[in-house]
Amino acid sequence: MTDRAQSELIGFALVFGIVVLSLLVVSVAGYTGLQNAQEHQQTTNVQPAFEVLSNNVDDVVHYGAPSRATEIKLADASVSIEESLEITVEGESATEGEFSHNYTAHSIVYDSGSGTEITYVGGMLVREDDGNAVAFGEPNFVFTEERVTLPIVSTYPEGTDSVGGSTTLLVETRHSETELYTETVSGDVTIDVDSSHPDVWGAYLEGEARTTDGCEATGTTMTCEPDRVSITVDRIGVRLA
């Protein structure tokens, strides 16, 4: 009788242990799944905000707006301004010999803190999840057989360069100055992009080259044979408030 009672007690303990363990596993998995779903929804909501940011920068650059402010809601995330883009344009002028122009831009980067980043830089919008980056907005560069036109948005920080936490952030963009360069060229023009997202920029340039006679692209370097090159550089101050 005693042996039977002990066996039943041990059996009960084993079953109870299995039930408790199962509940713990389900609870942890459910919490993790809920947390992942919340983080995905947060970053999905931020992506349209960055599209608005890009449109607001276009208003400042192309339509004469002195400044624009974009609202971004943070939830245990951060937005920072980081130097990450350099564009070099080289060629030979038909009248003044070789030329080389170098331009830089800072990225506006949303970091979820859990493997997702959303970036605006130079007109390019990029979403990166666990190291895999894809563009969801492209710059307004124009490549034709006759002309290369490069409207470069050169963003730079004004004031603090990083804000984090759970708050509503305003990203203010303000026009500072415009630099123009237009030249009749002789021979090739080379555009080289040094970026923290080389695969994205390489895919963009290679796509443009496939549809433009006289242009070839290898990675982030593009070579064209236009008659003229036009570069517009708009300096845009970025303030996080």
Report pLDDT digits (tens) over 85-134.
Answer: 999 999 999 988 999 999 999 999 999 999 999 999 999 999 999 999 99
Q: 68: how many CB neighbours lie within 10 A of its CB?
A: 19
Amino acid at 201: W
| CB 77 within 8 Å of CB 161 | no
- Which candidate, 223, 231, 226, 232, places its Cα nearest to that of 144? 226
Rounded Cα distance between 226 and 184, Å, is 9
Q: 241: how many CB neighbours lie within 10 A of its CB?
A: 11
Length of the chain: 241
Residue 29 has what pLDDT?
46
What mean pLDDT is reported for the chain?
A: 89
Who's near 40: CB < 8 A, 6+ residues apart?
none
Q: 210: how many CB neighbours lie within 10 A of its CB?
A: 10
Query: What pTM did the predictor assign?
Result: 0.82
